[in-house]
Amino acid sequence: MEVETLKSPLVVRYERNAALLHAQWQFLSAPHRAPSALQSLLTAAAAPRVRDCLLDLRHMPDLASMGQPQTEYHLLVQLASLPLQHLALVFKADWQHEALLAATDYLAPTYEVQVFDDDATALDWLRQTGEGYRGRGGSMGPLSN
């Protein structure tokens, strides 16, 4: 029996002052909702007000082993076409790194991309490199909806 407490497997927050979109895959979320959740994420990240994006996929299951073999690949290819300045990806599993490498032939983003093991380090990188963080004294409040 599947028990589901979240409507979407992704929690997406937007920090207006920093033009930062932060999306995090929720632990034990329903993988069958991944395609629609990821498409919604891409739509939100394509908004003109978003300059930086932190995408934390540490808890996302291997969708390829669950009958969705191209989901991660297409996500990475579509991410490359977004009008961002910086993208921080947080991966944990080897298959996520392999999906990134497989999509590399088609990835030619016009923005800077870094891969991290944790979201705190990724957020710190965005704070140091993002234009929205310069000149603020380095302090920023929590992300808001």
pLDDT tens digits, 25-44? 888 877 788 888 888 889 99
Structural domains in the chain, sorted by start: 10-133 (3.30.750)
What is the reported pLDDT for 56?
92
**Residues 6 or more apart from 98 whose CB is under 8 A from it?**
none
Give the span between the Cα atoms of 108 and 33, in whole angstroms: 28
Confidence bin at 130 (pLDDT 50/70/90): low
Phi, psi of 25 (to 5 degrees): -70, 130
Percent of the chain beyond pLDDT 70? 77
Token reading at 7: 């409507």
pLDDT greater than 70 at residue 132: no
- CA distances 90 to 14, 116, 125, Å, are 17, 5, 12
Res 50: pLDDT: 93
Average confidence (pLDDT) over 9-36: 86
Largest CA distance in the chain: 52
Residue written as token pair 């908004």: 47
Is 50 exceeded by the pLDDT of residue 133?
A: no
pLDDT tens string 45-80: 999 999 999 999 888 877 777 777 677 777 878 888
* 6 φψ region: left (φ > 0), alpha (ψ -120 to 50), beta (else): beta
